[in-house]
Structure formats: C-alpha cells, structure tokens
Structure 1
C-alpha cells in the first residue's frame, strides 16, 4: 500500500500529470487528445502517462482503433483513506489542545486578582 502511495504522490507531484488526471476525471481521452493543450510532443505526453500508469492512476484500453486512457478511481480511495487517517489524528490533537486551553482559561478566570507591578505603580 505505501509503495503504491509513494508512486501515486510522486506521479501527482508534476503539474502536467495533475492536469491530465483532472481532465481524465471528466472523460476518457486518447494520448493525442491529452497532448492537444500542451506545447510538448505526443512522446512526452506518453512518458507522463507511463508514470501515471505505473502508479495505478490510469489504465489504457483498446476500442477498435482508439486507445483511450481511463482514470482509476479506486486509487483515489486509497489516497483518501491514507489522508483521512492523518486528518483524524490531527483533529484529535487539536481537540486535546482546545481542552488544555479551556482549562487554562478557566484557571485564569477563577484565580483571585493580585496586585501586579503595574497596579502598584499607578496607585490602583
């Protein structure tokens, strides 16, 4: 699992590949269709797709003469589970911090007022 996550996050580290994934989330596309908006060769797009394929984010199928690239949604489930685990841990830490801060606020508001150096200087 971690090895695949490493590959997925590495694949998504490149902005061109992230853009391709975003475009594939709308509809399958061929290599030529994916290459159209970029000022790079079809071979360069194919290299990007190879990285996405190796990570499991996309697959290529064959429909007659067409070879569409398909986004694999199950990989996003894997990423979401991993991210959610750490989000929950962070949220639990924030809740504990909130509890500590609430205790500190309660303690400071219940403490009797004492003469502070400022009050003694001003004669209050």
Structure 2
C-alpha cells in the first residue's frame, strides 16, 4: 500500500495550447508521458466541458496498473491541476512518478507551478 502521491497546481498556462481544450490531444500526450515514464496505462477517460466551440476545459484520468494520473484544465483561468499517484507494491515506482509529473507539467509550459508530495501508506 506504500506509494508516492504528487500534485501540482499550474498557473499562467496559455489557453490556446491544444492540451488545454482538445481531449484527443491531451489524451495522446498523457499516454505518451505514461509510457515514457515506464508506467503501464490500462484505461483512460477524457471529458471536455463547455460549449460546442471546443473552448471548455478537460477533466481526464489515465488509470495506471500502478494507480493513476488525473488532469484538470481551466483555459479560462490559464490554470491546470495535476495528480499522480503510484503504489510501490512489488517495487519502488517513485522515480517513475516523478518523471511522469515532470513530463505532464512540461506539456503545459506554465509560468508558475506549485508542487506537493506525500508518501502514503
């Protein structure tokens, strides 16, 4: 049950970035980041909010064999919240969690990022 839980609150993100409003682009980028970090994605759901013009934010999750990645975008605020949690059953996945969080933060190129970390279990 031991694991590492990372969160980040991003501000100053350009709302015109495709990852802010395009669920397919965000989903693909998250899948790529999960694979590059050495984690195993097992399912995903990306839900776009807002009007039909595609300018609403996205709530998305990638379910990992090791736990999850969650992303919430607010293009109207230029803000994003991120959540990465990995269990360490059978091995320490902490470095993989750190790589995943860094990659997802980089997708958004924020002006500022506030990060938190907890060791759970």
* TM-score, normalised with respect to structure 1: 0.29
Larger fraction in strand = 2
* TM-score, normalised with respect to structure 2: 0.29
